[in-house]
């Protein structure tokens, strides 16, 4: 990607959790009441989450990953490639959220 596109995404990287949260809000009414999040080797459900827990899970994970990437930079340690990790983390978690919503709404 060009530097100009990277600068644009880097400036608006905080929008990934917001976009994810907005998508989750719109999908809220289509989700089942309990969402299975963990299964054992035999396919039994070990942990379920409510709809409300689920819509906050991925955006909060995105915020924690953003903080984990930014914290070393704020302390003056090694600079990371001009926001590439921030952008990649946001995009990957956004796509993961869309995949999970597709799987749970399709049922």
What is residue 17's predicted lDDT score, i.e. its pLDDT? 83
The neighbouring-strand residues paired with 47 are 38
What is residue 107's predicted lDDT score, i.e. its pLDDT? 65
The one-digit pLDDT tens for each residue of the chain (107 residues) are 567 766 666 666 778 888 888 998 998 988 889 888 888 889 898 988 898 888 888 888 888 877 777 666 656 666 655 567 777 777 888 888 888 888 888 76
Alpha-carbon distance values, 70 to 13, 25, 55, 61, 87 (Å): 12, 27, 24, 14, 12
Q: Is 38 left (phi over 0), alpha (psi -120 to 50) or beta?
A: beta
């Amino acid at each position: 990607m060009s530097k100009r596109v990277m600068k644009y995404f880097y400036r608006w990287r905080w929008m990934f959790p917001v976009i994810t949260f907005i998508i989750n809000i719109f999908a809220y009414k289509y989700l089942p009441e309990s969402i299975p999040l963990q299964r054992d080797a035999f396919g039994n459900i070990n942990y379920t989450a409510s709809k409300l827990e689920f819509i906050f899970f991925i955006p909060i994970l995105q915020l924690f990953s953003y903080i984990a990437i930014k914290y070393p930079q704020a302390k003056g340690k090694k600079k990371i490639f001009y926001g590439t990790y921030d952008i990649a983390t946001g995009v990957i978690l956004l796509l993961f959220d869309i995949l999970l919503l597709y799987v749970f709404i399709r049922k």
